[in-house]
Amino acid sequence: MLGRAVVQVLDPVFPGMVSATRAEADVTDRFRLESEVERLRPDVVINCASYTDVDGCETDPDRARRVNVEGAENAASAASAAGCPIVHISTDFVFDGRKGAPYVEEDTPAPLSEYGRSKRAGEERVAAVATDFLIVRTSWSYGAGRANFVDAIRSRAANGGPLKVVDDQFGSPTCVVDLARALHGLILREARGVVHFANAGVCSRYAMARLILRTCGFHDVPLVPMPTSEAGRIAVRPSYSALDTSRYSRLTGETPRPWQEALIEYLRGGRGAAVGA
């Protein structure tokens, strides 16, 4: 999902950019990855690869470790061996949600799930092996290219519902095209360390679903709030995982647009909606 958006946004501004799917560059294959990056000699490596199935990570922690921990390390060491920085993507799920206010980069991670733990361990490996790195944490992403919360709500509503959506998890929905543009700005400014990026504002999953239904004209589809305890998910999610993006704004001079604006544009077929969907 993010990989496609990165290609869409960066291809016109970085001519000669090379993108790769899992089949072309498996991050768990350290030797092949290193030789490929060495051959290409890039100015920067952006690692969007991850095992992102949060419940799947719970049942297959070995795969989570191979892709999210060792894969992150392999990408970082391949970039370092080729003498270039690595931009690595991480997640709001490294936090436990107990803060109850937007997380800044200095807050201590305390992941609740195998996915969160593997992503945190991946961050640590990147920081340990890379000579030059930028870790960008984001949250609640949606965009073209794979199943996501927005498209799931829209298609279930198109089938008439009713929809039950949790109203006790809060975060910042983020359009992957906005994130890809943010990566561009951060790369141009040679940002380093950890940076949070998300669309502005905080909402519950329920409020997000309500805006999706309203924007798509599903006024008669019943939408029912429910507690997380009734959702029957395997992995524990943070109840609050909004990200403070002040550091991003200080570094780039840009302010992320509100989550509602980005989501409405996506639903109306604008930015992020048609990237090779």
Ligand X SMILES: NC(=O)c1ccc[n+]([C@@H]2O[C@H](COP(=O)([O-])OP(=O)(O)OC[C@H]3O[C@@H](n4cnc5c(N)ncnc54)[C@H](OP(=O)(O)O)[C@@H]3O)[C@@H](O)[C@H]2O)c1
- Give the footprint of ligand X on this chain (CB under 6 A): 1-3, 22, 25-28, 48-52, 67, 71, 89, 91-92, 119, 138-141, 145-146
Among candidate residues 51, 103, 115, 248, the one labeled active-site is: 115
CB of 123 to ligand X, least distance (A): 10
Closest CB to ligand X among residues 2, 175 = 2
| Shortest separation between residue 220's beta carbon and ligand X, angstroms | 29
| Whether residue 115 lies in the annotated active site | yes
Shortest approach of ligand X to residue 38 CB, angstroms? 17
Provide the minimum distance between the beta carbon of 199 and ligand X in the complex, in angstroms, as a whole number: 12
Among candidate residues 2, 6, 269, the one with its CA nearest the CA of residue 151: 269
Are 264 and 211 spatial neighbours (Cβ–Cβ below 8 Å)?
yes
Residue (176 or 221) nearer to ligand X, CB: 176
**Which residue in 188, 193, 155, 149 sits closest to 172, CA to CA?**
149
Nearer to ligand X, 56 or 161 (CB): 56
Q: 194: Cβ–Cβ under 8 A, 6 or more apart, which residues?
A: 105, 123, 135, 136, 137
User: Closer to ligand X at the Cβ: 8 or 141?
Assistant: 141
| Catalytic residue ranges | 115
